[in-house]
Structure 1
Amino acid sequence: MIRWQMGTVQQVIAAEKGMQQLTMLMEDGASARAVHYTDVMPEAKPGDKLLLNVTAVELGLGTGGVHFVAGFADGAELLRMPKSEATSIDGDCPATDAIRSLGDTGHIMKLRYTPLQRSVVSVEAPESPYHGLFRQSLDLAGTPVLIGELHSMLPAAVCRIRALQPEASVAYVMTDGGALPAAFSRHVAALRGLGWLRGTVTCGHAYGGDLEALNKFSALLAAKHVLGADIVIAAMGPGIAGTGTEFGHTGMETAELINAAAGLSGTPVVMPRITAADPRARHQGASHHLRTVLTKAALQSAAVPLPGGLPASAQERLERELGVSAHAHVRHTFPRMPHISQEEIRLNQADYPVPITTMGRELENDVIFFEAVCCAADYACGLLRRNPNPHGPTG
C-alpha cells in the first residue's frame, strides 16, 4: 500500500549532489519536510506542486520524519528534463572517470521492474571499462573487510582509521539492506567531500555510488581492484528493517558479507553491535541480530573484536551471548582489544562535521557501541600494519 498526498514547495532547505531537502505545505495546511531526488527529476522550486509518498511518516517508521517526492503535478516537467548526468557523490575519484564519461549507456537495471527502474553502468558489465578486469579470476588477497550492521558504524570506523593510519585508503561498499540511494546518506557525502573515503560502491539495488555493482562479491572486488582500497567497509545505507523476530531483519546480510569476504580470500572483521543503552531487551549487550548472524548464518570464519576494559560481569555476559566458549561456534575468533576511552573517541571525531548517532543516541549516551566499532577498526589497522598492501588499483 502506498499513501499519497499533494504538497506545494515552500522552501528549498538544502541542495546536495542528487538530492534536495524541501519544506512542503500540505493540502491540510500542515508543514512537512520532503526529500526530492534530482538524479531522475528536475530540481524543485518554491511554488511547485508535487506528488508525495507519505507512507512511512503516516506509519511512524524510521525515515527521519520526511516524505519522498514521487513527481510533479505537471507531468510535462519530466518530458522537458535534460538527459541525466552522472550522479556519483562529490569528491575526487579518478578511477571512476572512465565510467562517468559513458553517461547513460549502461544496460543493467536497478529497482528492476518498478516504475522507478533506472539503467546504470555496472562495473562488471560489457560496456564498463573494467569488464576485462572482472573476466579475470580476482580475489581480495587478505584485504581487511570491516563489516557493519548499521550505517552509523561507517563514519565512526572511518574517523578511527584516519586517526590511526591516515595514509590508508578506505572504500565503502553500500548494500541494499537500508536506504537505496547513496544520496540519502549525509555521511557518505561528508566523508567523500573530506577525502576520507576513496570511493563508494553501491551494490544490489542500492544506487548512486561512484561505482555500481550487481552484488556483494563484485562490489568488494571493485573496492579492492578499481578503487584501490587498503581497507573496505561494507554496511547498509541509512535505516534497517526489522520485525522483532530471529531472522526477520535486514541485518542478516552481515552473514552474507562475511561469507563473501572470506570466500574471496579477504579478511572479514565484524564491527559488533553492542549496546548498554537500547531500551529493547533483545538488543541489550550483544544484539540478537549479531548473535543470530554469528551462530546460525555465517558459514565462514570472521574476527569479532571485543572491547576491553569492561567490568568482569559485563565481559562474561558478552562472551556468553556470543558463544565465545561454545564448541559449536569456534569458527569465529573474538580478540580482546585494549580499552578505548570516550575522550579518545571524541577526539577521533573532532574534525568530522556531521553528528554521528546510533538509533538516535550520541557517543555519551552509548559509549560501548562506539568503542566496539573503534576496536574493530583498530584490529583492521593492525592487520594492515602486519600485511601492508603495496598495490593500488589494478583497473
Structure 2
Amino acid sequence: MKRSWIISILSSLIILGAGIAGVFYIMTAVPEDISVSAVLNQPAAEETGNQEVPKETQDIIFESQKLVVQIELDDGSVGSGFLYNDQGDVITNAHVVANTESVNVITSDGKNMPGDVIGLSRDTDVAVVRVPGLKGKEPLPVRKEDTAELLDEILALGSPLGLQNTVTRGEISGLDRTLDIEPFHYENLYQISAPISPGNSGGPLLDRETGEVIGINSAKLDEETIGFSIPISDVLPMVERWSESPMRSLPEFPELTEEVYSPVTGTDAEQASYMVQYFYDSINQGDFVTAYSLLSSSWQEDLSFENFRSGYNNTLSVQVDNLVADPQEDQVEVTAFLTAEETVDGEVKMKKYKVVYPVKKENQSVKIMSGSGEELSTDKEEE
C-alpha cells in the first residue's frame, strides 16, 4: 500500500447521533426454531467474498445511490427508501413510517427535505412518502414483472446504521418464502444472501445486471446472513393507487409501541468502529465506489475517483488489527492499526500502519475530513 494512500484507506468513519429503530422478533414459516425480525433491530452484518466489483456494476451503484434516501422520524429512528416515480414519491416499509404523517428525508448529497406519508398498508409492509423536493427527478427503473430466478445476482442499497450509500452484494437464494411479523404478513418473498442491517428497511433490491428495482428489503433471519425482500411487482399496483389518490387518513399501529421501536443506544465510538470495519470490507471486496462516497466533499475535490482507485493497485488486502475511537468536543478522532498485504517490486509483503484522522459532520452527514498516518516497523524489517 502506498504510504500516501494509508489515509484514504481509512476514509470511512461515520458516526451518527440519530438512533436506529428497533423492531420485533417472531416465529416464521421457515423452521419453527428460527426467528425473523425486521432488519432495523439487527446488528450490522459483514459481507463476505473478495471479488472486485465489475465496472458496469460500479456504474449501476453510482447512479442508483443518487435516488436512494434515508428516512428519519422525530424519535430518531432511521430507515431507507427509493424514488420510484417522477412525482417525488418514495417507496419504503410500513414499519419504517408507522404512526407518523411526516418524515425527514435525507438525499445522498446530504440535503434535508420534508416528506408526507401518502400511503400505508396495515397488512403489507409497504408505504409511500411524497417528497416535493424530489418531484421531476428521473426515478429508479422498476421491473414490473416478477422474473427473478434462483442465483440471480443482486445489490441491496440502503442506510444501515444511518450510513448512506451503503451497498451489499449477493444472490437470490430462495423464492416464494412466507413470513409473519406481527402485524404484517409477508408472502412470495425473495430470500437473499446480501447482508442487510439496521437502517436497510425500505431500501431497494436491484438486479445487478440491469439496475432495475426488483424488491424492497424488509426482514432478516435472526443472527443469520439471510435477508428477505418483497417483490416490487407484487405491490406496485397498490403504491401506484396511493400516488394517484393519496390516502386521506392513515391506519394506526398501536401494537408498535415505543418499547418495540426504541433507538439503538450504541455509543458514537461503537458505531464509528463498525463503520471503519465496513470501509475495509468494501476495499477488500473491490467496492471502491462505496468507499469513495464516504470521503468528505473537500477530500473528493482534491482526489478524483480514478486517482483514489488507482492508489490501491498494489494493495491485496487490509486487516484491521485494532481501532481506538476518541470522542472530542466537535469530532471523533480514530486511531486504526492495520496490517496490509501489498505487492512491492513483484513480491508480496506484509506492512503495518497506524493512522489517525478526525471525523465531523458535513451537510448533515458525518464524513472523514482529513488524516495522518505512518508505517510501523516490523520484526522482520528490524532484523
Where is the helix percentage greater, Structure 1 or Structure 2? 1
Q: Please report the TM-score for the alignment, with normalisation by the length of structure 1.
A: 0.25
TM-score (normalised: structure 2): 0.25
**More relative contact order, 1 or 2 (CA 8 Å, 6+ apart):** 2
More strand by share: 2
